[in-house]
């Protein structure tokens, strides 16, 4: 059997390039979260209650909001909270049900449309906007900013600095920044792991058929893991999606927060009150704006 079409040949040299480690923080395809097709697949993953793929399961979200409210939100002097990367509004709607004045921002039009419909169905008044929180300048000041599901560590150091500046600017004095990151113990595929697969149609990355290569790389000295997905369509055109994840420990995240004008007031293994231990795979963090 010959898999080549007329006048086509496989460029083996190019394919072998895909197995090489890209430079640290090499660019990714721009449209990962807001591509109309991918964001629809992502939305389905977010709202699927049986998986933790894009959003955590409903019982985890419930426990997180309950703990944050009891331990931190109730201590705030005001009640204005914004969720960055709010997705389909799974946290915002729960927080609004507790009586807070809630806003959400997300790059994905599909996710925001879903979040707005959910708010309407639950008779909640939540302000949603489609936007990039890296370019965000807030005119309103908040008592707390949340950024949940390891999104902070997906950015490079300069982007994280910008993000911290934006959050600092958006918070009232003494306001809280609530987020989570991975640690080095987080599950990571080894550099030797390559996975080629074929999808005839309606796969995760595009509606038409494609061939994909998924591989991962660890950048030990920079404390970063990369999960890379190379998608090749029938015409041989490629798109490369890269998900970078910087890992932290309590001291590296605390210094980064200090530099950004925050004081770390709590660190645990999650955002449900579980204490931190040296084999924790993640950290839930509460930081307070210092000035
Ligand atoms: C892993 S999901 C988590 C969603 C939500 N926090 C949750 O846990 O259910 C990341 C979300 O952040 C959004 N996002 C990623 N980068 C963003 C950016 N720069 N500005 C705004 N939203 C962003 C994505 O569209 C996606 O909805």
The ligand 1 atom nearest the CA atom of 108? 25
What's the rounded mean pLDDT across residues 220-229? 94
- Structural Rg of the chain based on CA atoms: 20
Based on the number of CB atoms within 10 Å of its own CB, is 87 exposed (0-12), middle (13-18) or buried (19 or more)?
Answer: buried
Return the number of other C-beta atoms located less than 10 Å from residue 144's C-beta. 25
Ligand 1 centroid, distance to 106 Cα (angstroms) = 6
Choose which residue among 57, 82, 109, 151 to substitute to test ligand 1 binding: the one with the highest number of ligand atoms within 8 A of its C-beta: 151
What fold, for 55-184+247-289? Rossmann fold (3.40.50)
| pLDDT tens-digit series, residues 92-105 | 999 999 999 999 99
Q: Nearest C-alpha to atom 11 of ligand 1 is from which residue?
A: 85
Q: How confident is the model at residue 11 (pLDDT cuts 50, 70, 90)?
A: confident
Lowest mean pLDDT among 117-121, 187-191, 241-245: 187-191
Q: Is 80:141 a contact under the CB 8 Å cutoff?
A: yes
Spatial CA neighbour of 48 closest among 77, 21, 87: 87
Please, how many CA atoms are within 13 Å of residue 262, restricted to the half-sphere of its CB?
A: 31
Check residue 62 and give its pLDDT. 97
The ligand 1 atom nearest the CA atom of 33? 25
Q: Residue 271 pLDDT > 60, yes or no? A: yes
Residues with a CB atom less than 6 Å from ligand 1: 33, 46, 54-55, 85-87, 90, 105-108, 111, 132-134, 148-149, 151
Q: Residue 42 pLDDT > 70, yes or no? A: yes
Q: Which residues of the chain are in CATH 3.40.50.150 domains?
A: 55-184+247-289
The ligand 1 atom nearest the CA atom of 34? 25
Q: What percent of the chain has pLDDT over 90?
A: 81
What's the mean pLDDT when you consider all of the chain?
A: 93
Q: What is the dihedral of CA 158, 266, 103, 91, to 10 degrees?
A: 110
Q: Nearest C-alpha to atom 20 of ligand 1 is from which residue?
A: 132
Per-residue H/E/C for the chain: CCCCCCCCCCCHHHHHHCCCCCCCCCCCCCCCCCCHHHHHHHHHHHHCCCCCCCCCCHHHHHHHHHHHHHHCHHHCCCCEEEEECCCCCHHHHHHHHCCCEEEEEECCHHHHHHHHHHHHHCCCCCEEEECCCCCCCCCCCEEEEEECCCCHHHCCHHHHHHHHHHHHHHEEEEEEEEEEEECCCCCCCCCCCEEEEEECCCCCCCCCCEEEEEEEEEEHHHCEEEEEEEEEECCCCEEEEEEEEEECCHHHHHHHHHHCCEEEEEEECCCCCCECCCCCCEEEEEEEECC
Angle, vertex CA 201, rays to CA 199 and CA 207, nearest 5:
115
């Amino acid at each position: 059997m010959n898999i080549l079409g007329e006048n086509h040949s496989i460029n083996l040299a190019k394919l072998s390039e895909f197995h090489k480690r890209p430079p640290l923080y090499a660019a990714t395809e721009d449209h990962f979260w807001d591509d109309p097709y991918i964001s629809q697949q992502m939305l389905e993953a977010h709202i699927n209650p049986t998986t933790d793929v894009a959003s955590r399961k409903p019982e985890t979200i419930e426990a997180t909001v309950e703990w944050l409210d009891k331990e931190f939100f109730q201590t705030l002097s005001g009640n204005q909270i914004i969720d960055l990367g709010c997705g389909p509004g799974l946290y915002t709607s729960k927080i609004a049900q507790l009586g807070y004045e809630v806003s959400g921002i997300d790059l994905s039009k599909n996710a925001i449309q879903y979040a707005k419909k959910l708010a309407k169905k639950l008779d909640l008044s939540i302000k949603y906007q489609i936007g990039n929180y890296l370019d965000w300048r807030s005119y309103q000041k908040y008592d707390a900013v949340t950024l949940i599901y390891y999104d902070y560590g997906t950015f490079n150091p300069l982007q994280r600095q910008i993000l911290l500046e934006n959050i600092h600017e958006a918070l009232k004095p003494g306001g809280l920044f609530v987020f989570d990151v991975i640690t080095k113990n987080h599950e990571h595929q080894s550099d030797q792991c390559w996975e080629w697969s074929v999808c005839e149609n309606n796969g995760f990355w595009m509606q038409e058929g494609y061939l994909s290569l998924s591989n991962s790389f660890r950048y030990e000295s920079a404390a970063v893991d990369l999960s890379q997905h190379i998608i090749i369509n029938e015409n041989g055109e490629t798109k490369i999606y890269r998900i970078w994840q910087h890992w932290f420990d309590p001291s590296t995240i605390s210094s980064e927060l200090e530099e950004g004008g925050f004081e770390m007031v709590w660190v645990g293994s999650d955002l449900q009150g579980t204490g931190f231990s040296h084999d924790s795979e993640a950290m839930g963090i509460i930081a307070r704006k210092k000035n």
